[in-house]
Chain A
Amino acid sequence: MGGGPCYRLAVADSIRIVFSGVAKRFDERVVFRSVAGEAAPGEVLAVTGPNGSGKSTLLAILSGLLRPTKGSVRYLLPGERELERAQWRRILGAVAPAMSLYEELDALENLRFFARVRGLQGAEDRCRSCLERVALDPGRRTQVAGFSTGMRQRLKIAQAMLHRPLVLFLDEPGSNLDPDGRSWLEGWVHEERAAGTTVVLATNDPREMEWGTRRVALAG
């Protein structure tokens, strides 16, 4: 992997996410009433449940994209110090079906953009190496609009690993990937675990569920 700056060292070595009594409703629709759990460094928290049970909503709440109707989510640094919500985005990476990349840009332009807005200086090598890791050609000038769904998924994964996040939110990460891609994905998640990354995974895929070291099952 290429060099480049890394928030991992700037903020902390590891993050533990503790959530309790988390409830979410959209107007009259109650998504879930009270969910609790913990995602620890070097572990994979698997969030499971039938379609519509709120797996993606829970991940959005845990990543700070949505506020819970009730309950609390805390990011704990070593020594039980709490990380402010405004700082969460700096240390997390995310892949989700509801998150798209810029269709009018090519793969490298997308990664360069995310590197720049994240304040990663001199990240050109890092962008290229992330693309190579997900088996995308950094020299290919095709806009994302011309990518297959599998290639888009690979690019999303490259974007998520770009800044070496301490926390990874993976919402159905294997969707649209071919068997080689799925095997690579499994290896990457194990690598991240070994490096002490906190991984939160939402899935219905039995193989991906097996990666989980802890589980939160949503009833639906």
Chain B
Amino acid sequence: MWRWLAEAWAVTAKDLRTEFRTRVALSSVGLFALTTLIAVAYSVGPFRISAEDRPFLLAVLLWIVVFFAGLAGLDRSFVKEEESHTAPLLRLSASPHVVWAGKLLFNLVLLAVLLAAVVPLYCVLMGYRIQLLGWFVALLAAGGYTLAVEATIVAAIIARAQGRGALFPVLALPLLLALLVFLIQGTTATAEGAVATVGASLRAVVSLGGAMTVVSAMLFPLVWND
């Protein structure tokens, strides 16, 4: 188990080092997040929504910013392996599950950076008050994990296809729709202070994340190998 983890971490560390030197994924994600955040803050702002609608509408806008910013960069690690022709040697050197876990971990780091930068800024700019902060953080963590799992397997699928740039959001969105609904529901409830609703949403997100982890782990070797 430790050896397997060390091998997966080697893939993550390689991707992080490469990303640190090129900043391709980080600039795509960061630029998209910043642009949408400014656009939303400028057009909607903290005062143009009635107090009654605020918890729900601000939750919708928050997750739209996070999802689309994520989709702008979460496919990079797989697509880059195919585009730069490093994938064949990786296939010959590492087991499929090691590659899957390593890439998932890289996407988790990328999403953690995105969430850590975007969410506090969004809450300040939009004046979004969260009443159940602990639940909110748990929802962000579970939502981020599930988003990373779903994006990783979709990225692996589209990396081997023609027209991969357009395919990622097209394939990812139907998969992410259920997650988006649960996260919006849960986030709204954290702003309203409705513990029971947050708990139900969090359970749904965790279940979805668990199910997607199992399905992805089983599916990945078929996608990765010819």
Interface residues of A (CB under 8 A from B): 60, 63-67, 86, 89, 92, 94, 96, 98-105, 109, 113-114, 116-119, 143, 159
Contacts and interface: CB of A to CB of B under 8 A. Distances in A.
Contact of B7 (A104, A119, A159): A119
A67 B222 CA distance: 12
B86 A101 contact: yes
- Give the size category of B's interface with A: 20 to 34
Contacts of B22: 104
B98 interface: yes
Interface string B63-98: 000000000000000000000111011111111001
B191 interface: no
SS class, residues of chain A in contact with chain B = loop
A65 B92 contact: yes
Contacts of B17: 104-105, 109
Given A105-B14, A116-B10, A89 B226 contact: no
SS class, residues of chain B in contact with chain A = helix
Contact of A89 (B3, B6, B14, B93): B93
Q: Which residue among B10, B11, B17 has the maximum number of chain A CB atoms within 10 Å of its CB?
A: B10
A65 B226 contact: yes
B10 A89 contact: no
Contacts of A92: 92
10 contacts: A89-B95, A92-B92, A94-B88, A99-B85, A99-B86, A104-B22, A109-B17, A116-B7, A117-B93, A117-B98
